[in-house]
Amino acid sequence: MLEILLDATVRAGTPILFATLGAIINERAGIINLGIEGLMLIGALAGFAGTQASGSLLVGVLAAFAAAMIAGSIHAFITVQLRGNQIVSGLALTMFGIGITALFGRGMVGLTIKGFERVAIPGLSQLPIIGKPFFNQDLLIYFSFLLVFGIAFFFARTRWGLALRTVGENPAAADTCGVPVLLFRFLAVTIGSGIVGIGGAYLSLATTPMWIENMTAGRGWIAVALVIFASWSSYRALAGAYLFGGITAMQLRFQAMGTTMSVHMLQMLPYFFTILVLVISTIRLQKGASQQPEGLGQAYDREDRK
């Protein structure tokens, strides 16, 4: 029972995990990206279409990454180069994503593909309780583990990671040190967006191997909130994503068991908990030292440097 629930938790949490990681990379560079929901949809459609056309799941994932990256570059150009309003640009990206995937997804509705299958890791998957949920999963889930460690390592231990953090904290200082601020921000937004796209692709390639219009159903917004819960750390993003995976899994379990509780009430739970968690983590952030990048939300213009 616990094993099954944990397994469902990991599977429901993974798309949110990718999206949260991508959003963290954006915000670490100082750019708020509210286009996560739209990017996930673009990733979901591109991933499905890529796999459908080529027959290869790898091609699908790459297509998802590339498509979301291209879409993200619009946000990057507007907010980084043109110093446009980050909130409005992100909302525009979400709307654009919802609309464009509805338009180009028309032909994909009803088609099927062979989605990701489970690959057991020898040895580890035999562990009691955690073995099956964590080590008898599909390749994208293993990739998400690697990404969590990779991103944490990148920000904490590499020169470029440190430079990128400075770009988000104090772009003027980074500029003085010779870090190309605009280029770093542009790359962070586009690559982060690409990772968000993979989260979307998980939905259309693994969760339910098909394309459904608006299939993300608010997961992108949950990810935006989780960035604050995770205080911009990829390990905590993992915890946050699985917390929501867990709530979703339990909610589905309740539905399957046929409780007397209304389906609609159960479906509210993830959104409700996201708000709750957001409130708690915001209060917590204000009490301790804030982890929020100092320059978050502010465009950088060399001419304004003091």
Partner 1 sequence: MKLITEKRELSSQLFRFIAPIISVLVALFVAGFLLQAAGVNPAQAYFEILQEALGSTYGLSETLVKTTPLIFASLGVSLAFRMQIWNIGAEGQIYMGACGASGVALFSGIESHPVMITAMFLAAFLCGGLWAGVAGILRARWRVNEVIVTLLMNYIAILGVDYLIYGPWKDPKGYNFPLTAQFSDAARLTEYFDTRFHSGFFLALFCALVLYLFMERTVWGYEIKVIGSNPKAARYAGMRTGLAIFAVLFLSGAIAGIAGFGEVAGLQHRLQHGISPGYGYTAIIIAWLAKRSALGVVIVSFLMGVLLVGGDSLQLTWQLPVAFVYAFQGLILFFLLASDFFIHNRLKLVKGDHHA
Q: What residues make contact with partner 1 under the rule CB under 8 A?
A: 34, 38, 74, 78, 82-85, 87-89, 91-100, 102-106, 213-214, 217-218, 221-222, 224-225, 228, 262-265, 267-268, 271-272, 274-275, 278-279, 282-283, 286, 303
**What minimum distance in Å lies between the beta carbon of 72 and partner 1?**
13
**What minimum distance in Å lies between the beta carbon of 69 and partner 1?**
16
CA angle 105, 264, 208 (to 5 degrees): 35
Give the residue with the Cβ less far from partner 1, 149 or 272. Answer: 272
- 75-88 residues labelled b (16+ CB within 10 A) or e (exposed): bbebbbeeeeebee
**What minimum distance in Å lies between the beta carbon of 15 and partner 1?**
16
Give the residue with the Cβ less far from partner 1, 202 or 244. Answer: 244
- CA distance linking residue 167 with residue 172, whole number of Å: 8
Kindly give the pairing relationship between strand 119-120 and strand 136-137: antiparallel
Give the residue with the Cβ less far from partner 1, 53 or 279. Answer: 279
**What minimum distance in Å lies between the beta carbon of 76 and partner 1?**
12
Give the residue with the Cβ less far from partner 1, 122 or 262. Answer: 262
Helix (DSSP H) and strand (DSSP E) numbers for the chain: 12, 2
Give the HSE-up count for residue 155: Cα atoms under 13 Å, Cβ half-sphere: 23
Q: How many CB atoms lie within 10 A of CB 70?
A: 15
Amino acid at 91: L
Give the residue with the Cβ less far from partner 1, 78 or 140. Answer: 78
Percent of residues in the chain assigned helix, strand, coil, to nearest 5:
75, 0, 25
**Contact, 192 vs 26, CB < 8 A?**
yes
240, two tokens: 């946050």
Q: Which residues, listed in sequence order, are joined to residue 137 by a DSSP beta bridge? A: 119
**What minimum distance in Å lies between the beta carbon of 156 and partner 1?**
26
Give the residue with the Cβ less far from partner 1, 159 or 287. Answer: 287
**What minimum distance in Å lies between the beta carbon of 187 and partner 1?**
20
